[in-house]
Chain A
Amino acid sequence: MAAYIQARNVNLTFRPPNRAPVRALGNFDIDVAEGEFVSIVGPSGCGKSTFLNILLGLIKPDSGDILMHGKKLSGPGTDRAMVFQDFGLLPWRTVEHNIELGLELKKVPAAKRRAIAARLSALVGLAGFEHHYPHELSGGMKQRVGLARALATDPDVLLMDEPFAALDAQTRDLMQVELLRVWREAKKTVLFVTHQIDEAIYLSDRVMVMSKRPGRAKKTFAIDLPRPREYEMRVTPQFNELKLEIWNTLKDEIVV
């Protein structure tokens, strides 16, 4: 199967003024197939979010090749969209107008924007909240807006940077179920960064463990749990074995 996203030998060093340079990524490789759900777990500061920002086109790597659909990556594009950890909603815009943000920048006519926003509000469970402002929503609702906004421009790839990290444990569990439902309906390729091994296993087709800084791919695990995933799968022996295996790979990389 041809890789849909292919990254080879990606290197990036941050050079903050007046401080020692930080090597964030060192010869990082990844392959993601079309329609696949891949999670990246790794210790804090291993460069996993940085890699998402590179894919998004906000950061340029020092070296390395990144191909999307066989084409070299250059800057942001409507084929990718990010769901941000801290939601990143514009507080002065209603839910509807936040969802329309990417469409507006694509110069999609207002009537069409409105129709897309209405459809996505319904898809992510926000129907009836279109005219609310972000401060009137709970954390889970805010991230539903973030998800709808990312889906609005109909990207091929959804990049998710610890999207549920700011939510409480119960909301997080429900949002994972919701995300799988939306993913099934929207049929996107997803690259999902998280700290939580449970979350990664439950959601993904494959889970990649990254090394500590400078981040590189340490090991990738195929998750053979059947789909659709049921919540009960989280307490099966198979799930727990995977969890232990991934933890054993990850724990040596964690610097306390």
Chain B
Amino acid sequence: MAELQADFAVTAAADAAAPARRLWRRLEPTALGAGGIVGLLLVWQFLPDLVPMKAGTKLFFTVPSDIAGTLWRMFATGSIWAPLGVSAGAFAIGLGLAILAGLPLGILLGRSNVLNAMFDPFITAFNATPRLVFLPLLLLWFGLGLWSKVAIVFLGALFPLLINTYEGVRNADKLLINVVRSFGAGEWDIARLVVVPNALPFIIVGLRLAIGRAVLGVVVAEFFGAQDGLGVVMVRAASEFKVDVVFAGLIVFAVLSLVMTGLVKLIEDRMSRWRPQQVSGD
């Protein structure tokens, strides 16, 4: 590795245009990625001018500039905030509750054979069932408002969190547990000092899955039952052939998911500073 870098340094010094080249090398993947997206958007934008379309087809078609305009208007007039707030609220409350319940439960089940034997059949059965089949029941019980949505988000997000935490806890290093026990650690200290840090990579995977399931829960609940929210706006727009509004909603959902996944990545990077870097060849 050091040799490689030394080699690289020599050739770079010999090259007069080195700084520019190095800058390009660093920016190349980003530039290519951005270029791809821009190219695609341009083709899409000018497709109606290039390909003859019937009036009926045009009704279901929209171009990026229209979508961007609609998005801009939705934010400028503030018409997006109410439905977005409803959707985001259900997402946040449901996911938060799933974390609050899933992590401790996963740790308890992972550490206690008795509890595990008691709950395992229940969890296996629940996890094997697509949670969306509970939607009619939840709508009946919790109504068309916030809480049926929270319930479906909670059910969707709970199991990936619970099961991954459980797996991570089961995976805990027996030697390390003995080490802390030898210093007088009780069950709480063992969980705090060994089991949870050891399970963190599993928990992060669970969290990432849970976010996906939670977004899915919000969208499906709003498509099929709820009266408010971004999904409801999209369904209404579709029934009125406002394709640009449907796309605008889609983009907002996509950006929200990306932001959440980015946040998880940030947490992951912060928490895995102790791990060997991949380049070190460890």
Contact = CB atoms under 8 A, between A and B. Distances in A.
A77 B179 contact: no
Given A90-B193, A135-B276, A135-B282, A101 B183 contact: yes
Contact of B274 (A77, A92, A101, A153): A92
B180 A105 contact: yes
B184 A105 contact: yes
A29 interface: no
B176 A90 contact: yes
B181 interface: yes
Given A90-B197, A93-B274, A133-B274, A105 B183 contact: yes
B178 interface: yes
B174 to A, nearest CB: 10
Interface stretch (A39-47, A78-86, A168-176, A196-204): A78-86
A106 B184 CA distance: 8
B184 A81 contact: no
User: SS class of chain A's interface: helix, strand, loop or mixed?
Assistant: loop
A58 interface: yes
Contacts of A133: 274
B182 interface: yes
B194 interface: yes
B58 interface: no
Contacts of A56: 182
A88 B274 CA distance: 15
Nearest to B173: A88
B275 interface: yes
Contact of B189 (A53, A81, A105, A135): A105
Give chain B's interface residue range (CB within 8 Å of chain A). Answer: 10 to 19
Contacts of A106: 183-184
A64 interface: no
A86 B184 CA distance: 20
Give chain A's interface residue range (CB within 8 Å of chain B). Answer: 20 to 34
Contact of A91 (B178, B182, B274): B274
A101 B184 contact: no
Contacts, number: 57
A102 interface: yes
A140 interface: no
A51 B275 CA distance: 34
A101 B194 CA distance: 11
Given A133-B274, A135-B282, A77 B197 contact: no
Given A90-B193, A90-B194, A105 B175 contact: no
Contact of A78 (B175, B176, B184, B197): B184
Interface string A62-85: 000000000000001110111010
A214 interface: no
Contacts of B182: 56-58, 76, 80-82
Given A90-B176, A91-B274, A135-B276, A76 B282 contact: no
Interface in A109-134: 133
A101 B182 CA distance: 11
A88 B179 contact: yes
B185 interface: yes
A76 B175 contact: no
Contacts of A102: 183-184
Interface string B127-143: 00000000000000000
A80 B182 CA distance: 9
B184 A92 contact: no
B275 A76 contact: no
B185 A105 contact: yes
A76 B182 CA distance: 5
A78 B182 CA distance: 9
Contacts of B178: 53, 58, 84, 88
A92 B197 contact: yes
Contacts of A91: 274-275
B183 A81 contact: yes
A36 B254 CA distance: 69
B215 to A, nearest CB: 30
A57 B184 CA distance: 9
11 contacts: A76-B184, A81-B183, A82-B179, A86-B175, A90-B194, A90-B197, A94-B274, A101-B183, A101-B193, A105-B183, A105-B185
Given A76-B181, A91-B274, 14 more contacts: A56-B182, A76-B182, A77-B184, A81-B182, A81-B183, A86-B175, A88-B175, A88-B176, A88-B179, A90-B194, A101-B179, A105-B183, A106-B183, A133-B274
**A-B complex: 10 closest residue pairs judged by Cβ atoms:** A88-B179, A102-B183, A92-B274, A135-B276, A133-B274, A105-B183, A92-B197, A88-B175, A56-B182, A76-B184
